[in-house]
Amino acid sequence: MNFDIAGIGTGLAGTPGASTANTATWTYTTSALTAGNHSVSAAYTHTGSFQDSSGSLGGGQTVNKANATVVVTPYNVTYDGNPHTAAVTSITGVNGETGATVGTVNVSGTTHTTANTYNDTWTFTGTANYNNIGATPITDVIQKATPTATLGVTNSPQTYTGSPQAATVGITASSVPGAVANILTGGSATKTNAGTYAVTADFVPTDTTNYNSLTGLSAGNFIIQKANPTATLSVTNSPVTYNGSPQSATVSISASSVPGAVVNVKYNGSGTAPTNAATYTVTADFVPTDTTNYNTLSNQSAGSFVSSAVGRCPFIATSRVPPRLKGRAKDASFGSGATARATTVSKGSSSPSASARACTASTLLRPSARAAWLTKRTFLAVASIRVKWRCGLAIASGSPGNPAPVPKSAMREPASSALAERLSSRWAETIAACDSMLVRL
């Protein structure tokens, strides 16, 4: 038996199969038929007692299209400004054929550039032997890119003001345009006290669709420096009288911009309280009560501290001083800085004040002054001008507060060594009487 099959050919020899006395079977097998309907007919040429016969397959032979295997790979990428499309990984037919022989995939609907998550679809159009594949869902992702940025504080340092202050942060460099947000100074929006504070801030890109914000970037330090107060210091216990012992200046705050205290008093640069009679330049430190926010003022001038020796004490010369000697009497030295001032008074005038008398006596009683006075040179000078040591004689004869009258005989000659000894025995009283007047000399 021969077969005629549309799409294959005619006179195709069949393969005999099982037969009986009345029937016989032939088959023809092929894989060459394409998808679709094919007419099939067969013709039998008899042998033996059989007759010729022919016939056709009603409706023909139908070959259905196959389903291809299509693999489309979605993408998950970071934004780079370029378009991205899902990839067709493979197209495979039932007979091992691949690619366009089987069909084509349409992935045009998966192309995107902007960062986002996309619910896309692709389709497949098969060739003659393969079924089409309709819209098949796929998820494509373009993630936001992460920019780079360097931030820096632009308004540091600042000086303490007592009010809250905030850091200002600028963009030193960045990979994309952006702005600064959420500035934190030491963890908060502002700081008041002096100190050094770590600053952080966020970088927000202008294109927030495609770029992530950078949070908590270090921007350096914001420094609030201590303020410098103002203070005026002054010595309040000057002058004092030399007493042979160290004496300290009392330094007070005349005015200051903030509360504080005085420390580290110095005299001509030394921290040791002076003993000797002299004028000392006094400096001191002003230490604010709030040392957190204010600087200490060091070596502030406080004026002068005066320790007075038994200094320039008046004595009395009569009008009988020879004119040629008056100039010499005007400034007679008594050693160790003690100088007597001579005053000419008329005969019969009232005696000097008690303070003047006491001071002169005190001058004579100082060991160094007395020694100088008793030298031959000074003795002769005083004797020559007939100085009347009224005050010394008065102190020796009475008391510092109530001098006794001075005998005329004693007034005619200068003090003798015996008189000096008498004055020395009254030293404590004499010094006490002189204190108040020496402050004014």
More confident residue, 184 or 35: 184
Of the ranges 85-89, 111-115, 228-232, 340-344, which one carries the lowest mean pLDDT score? Answer: 340-344
Per-residue pLDDT, 94: 92
Percent of the residues in the chain that have a pLDDT greater than 70, as a whole number = 68
Measured distance CA(186)–CA(199) in Å, rounded: 6
Q: Compute the mean pLDDT over every residue in the chain, rounded to the nearest whole number.
A: 76
Report DSSP letters for 293-336, one per residue. Answer: TB--EEEEEEEEEEEE-S--EEEEE-TTS-HHHHHHHTEEE-ST
Read off the pLDDT of residues 143-194 as tens digits, 9 standing for 90 and up. Answer: 999 999 999 999 999 999 999 999 999 999 999 999 999 999 999 999 999 9
Q: Does residue 36 register a pLDDT over 70?
A: yes
Print the domain residue range for 186: 149-225
Q: Are residues 417 and 322 in the same domain?
A: yes
Please tell me the pTM assigned to this model.
Answer: 0.60
Same domain? For 85 and 168 the reply is no
Beta-strand runs (E) in 318-408: 331-333, 339-344, 387-388
Q: Does residue 217 lie within any of the structural domains?
A: yes
195-201: long-range contacts, CB 8 A cutoff, minimum separation 24: 195/223, 195/224, 196/221, 196/222, 196/223, 197/167, 197/221, 197/222, 197/223, 197/224, 199/153, 199/167, 199/169, 201/151, 201/169
The yes-or-no verdict on residue 316 having pLDDT over 60 is: no
Task: Say if residue 290 is in the same domain as residue 382.
Answer: no
**Looking at the domain assignment, is residue 109 inside a domain?**
yes
Q: Are residues 304 and 317 in the same domain?
A: no
Tens-digit pLDDT profile for residues 383-437: 333 333 334 433 344 444 444 444 444 433 344 444 444 444 443 344 334 433 3
Residue 113 and residue 7 share a domain:
no
Residues 35 and 78 grouped into a single domain:
no
Q: How many domains does the chain have?
A: 5
